[in-house]
């Protein structure tokens, strides 16, 4: 059995009804056996998710808070403007994508493309903007065009990931936090202009001071930043401890082995385009990174995208990623 076939059959098996308000319009069921995430499918044809949201009170918000991730499938497909309207109606004003770490395009107001990395690359599991001191509460991901093959957006329960990380690793990270080091100006990653969405160095300096980011202008277009932030948080919805950082993703070892080797041959540890360390500035233990990656892998769940799917993710309760793909793929994201 292929992984994709196994995923589909798992998805098909888990269709036990869950009683919720608004059930006359929408059927709610577990997304997978043994996980908290749920799927919602309309009981009537042609239902718009925005109409259901307005007619069902706080049902959708409750599902997000209780289950962490909600797949809307079979509703009338939304365009970028519609996705923004749904996200705003549920969560209030959308946030912009500031202090960026990946390339994206603005599609409509505060609706963006998902990360535009080459299709052969895997995007490791992560909570959105957990490398910062200010992150979105909720993500809205909408599939415009599913990939011909692959391209799933896997999810992982952040509380279960926390529990799987060995206690000694958790204690080290919780004590020291994570230091994210970024070097701009080498032409190998985002420029500081794109990251901070400005051409003004004074604006960058002011932003960094406001958010506790240490910034060094090194001449020319070179800028080095260091930021020490949280490794875990308590979920605002559940009160549970969740694993909440991107140490394993920012660390140079997340890159293909050949690229990591080339970078290490070209740059010293503190000059790498991006890297992660313990909050005290010491290098991350490869064993800790291995434990973290294994925890994510053990908790990862995924389903094949269908055109019109929308996934609403509590960004503290669930991490997400991206699998490699072939063919065209278009997934949009709004953050609230």
Interval 109-135: pLDDT, tens:
999 999 999 999 999 999 999 999 999
Q: Is the dihedral of CA 241, 162, 300, 153 positive or negative?
A: positive
User: If pLDDT is split at 50, 70 and 90, which confidence band does 30 have?
Assistant: very high
Mean pLDDT, residues 207-225 taken together: 97
pLDDT at 153: 98
Question: CB–CB of 123/333 below 8 Å?
Answer: no
DSSP category for residue 96: P
Rounded to 5 degrees, what angle do the CA atoms 113, 293, 159 make?
80
**pLDDT category of residue 22 using cuts at 50, 70 and 90:** low
* Percent of the chain predicted with pLDDT > 90: 90
Joined tokens for residue 138: 């909720």
Kindly tell me if the per-residue pLDDT of 12 is higher than 80.
no
Cβ pair 268, 274 in contact under 8 A: no
Q: In angstroms, rounded to a whole number, what is the distance separating the alpha carbons of residues 270 and 281?
A: 10
User: Which whole number is the average pLDDT over 166-178?
Assistant: 98
Predicted confidence band of residue 24 (pLDDT cuts 50, 70, 90): confident
| Banded model confidence at residue 146, pLDDT cuts 50, 70, 90 | very high
- 4 pLDDT band, cuts 50/70/90, is very low
DSSP H helical segments within 178-272, as ranges? 192-196, 201-211, 247-250, 257-266
Instruction: Sort 240 into a burial class: Cβ within 10 Å, 0-12 / 13-18 / 19+.
Output: middle
**C-alpha count within 13 angstroms, C-beta hemisphere, residue 317:** 21
pLDDT for the residue 19: 40
Instruction: Tell me the pLDDT tens digit for each residue of 48-66.
Output: 999 999 988 899 999 999 9
Helix or strand holding residue 282 (H, E): none
Is there a common fold for 3-154+301-335 and 160-295?
Answer: yes
Q: What percent of the chain has pLDDT over 70?
A: 93
2: confidence class by pLDDT, cuts 50, 70, 90: very low
**Architecture of the domain delimited by 160-295:** 4-Layer Sandwich (3.60)
The pLDDT, as a whole number, for residue 17 is: 42
3 pLDDT more than 80: no
The residue-averaged pLDDT of 148-170 equals 98
φ/ψ of 148, rounded to 5, equals -65, -35
What is the architecture, at CATH level 2, of domain 3-154+301-335?
4-Layer Sandwich (3.60)
Average pLDDT value over all residues in the chain: 93
Q: Is the pLDDT of residue 5 over 60?
A: no
The answer on pLDDT for 9 being more than 50 is no
Distance of CA 280 to the CA centre of its chain: 26
Residues 6+ apart with CB under 8 A from 42: 25, 26, 27, 52, 74, 75
Residue 285 has pLDDT above 60, yes or no: yes
* CA triple 181-186-192, angle to 5 deg: 60
Other CB atoms within a 10 A radius of the CB of residue 36 amount to 17
**SS3 of residue 22 by DSSP:** coil
Q: What integer is the mean pLDDT of 177-193?
A: 96
DSSP state for residue 318 in the 8-state scheme: E
Q: What are phi and psi of 225, to 5 degrees?
A: -120, 145
Q: What is the pTM of this model?
A: 0.92
**82: Cα separation from own chain's centroid:** 21
Q: Which residue, among 181, 187, 237, has the nearest Cα to 213 in the 3D structure?
A: 181
- For residue 76, the 8-state DSSP code is P
Q: Which of 23-32, 249-258, 289-298 has the lowest mean pLDDT?
A: 23-32
Residue with tokens 């394993």: 248
Give the Å distances, CA to CA, from 38 to 100, 112, 249, 321.
30, 25, 27, 18
The predicted-structure confidence for 303-325, as pLDDT tens digits, reads as follows 999 999 999 999 999 999 999 99
| Residue for token pair 């996705």 | 83
Burial of 267 (0-12, 13-18, 19+ CB in 10 A): middle
The residue extents of the domains of the chain are: 3-154+301-335, 160-295
Q: Is the pLDDT at 11 greater than 50, yes or no?
A: no
| CA neighbor of 195 nearest in space, from 204, 315, 211, 186 | 204
**Mean pLDDT of the 260-277 span:** 95
Question: In this predicted structure, what is the pLDDT of residue 23?
Answer: 56
């Amino acid at each position: 059995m292929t992984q994709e076939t196994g995923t589909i059959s798992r998805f098909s098996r888990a269709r036990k009804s869950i009683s919720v308000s608004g059930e006359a319009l929408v059927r709610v069921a577990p997304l997978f056996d043994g996980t908290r995430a749920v799927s919602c499918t309309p009981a009537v044809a042609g239902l718009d998710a925005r109409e259901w949201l307005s007619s069902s009170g706080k049902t959708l918000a409750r599902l997000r808070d209780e289950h962490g991730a909600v797949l809307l499938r079979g509703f009338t497909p939304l365009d970028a403007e519609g996705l923004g309207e749904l996200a705003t109606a549920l969560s209030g004003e959308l946030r912009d994508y500031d202090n960026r770490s990946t390339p994206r395009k603005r599609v409509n107001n505060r609706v963006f493309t998902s990360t535009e990395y080459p299709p052969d690359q895997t995007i490791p599991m992560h909570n959105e903007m957990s490398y910062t001191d200010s992150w979105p509460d909720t993500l809205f991901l909408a599939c415009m065009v599913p990939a011909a093959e692959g391209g799933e957006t896997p999810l992982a329960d952040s509380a279960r990931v926390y529990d799987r990380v060995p206690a000694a690793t958790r204690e080290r990270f919780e004590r020291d936090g994570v230091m994210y080091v970024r070097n701009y100006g080498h032409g190998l990653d985002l420029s500081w202009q794109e990251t901070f969405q400005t051409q003004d160095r004074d604006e960058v300096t002011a932003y960094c001071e406001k958010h506790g980011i240490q910034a060094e202008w090194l001449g020319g277009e070179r800028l080095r930043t260091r930021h020490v932030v949280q490794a875990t948080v308590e979920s605002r919805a559940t009160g549970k401890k969740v694993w909440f950082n991107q140490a394993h993703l920012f660390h140079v070892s997340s890159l293909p082995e050949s690229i990591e080797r080339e970078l290490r041959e070209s740059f010293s540890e503190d000059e790498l385009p991006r890297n992660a360390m313990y909050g005290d500035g010491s290098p991350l233990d490869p064993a800790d990174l291995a434990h973290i990656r294994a925890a994510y892998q053990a908790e990862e769940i995924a389903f094949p995208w269908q055109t019109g799917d929308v996934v609403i993710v509590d960004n503290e309760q669930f991490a997400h990623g991206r699998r490699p793909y072939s063919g065209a793929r278009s997934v949009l994201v709004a953050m609230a």
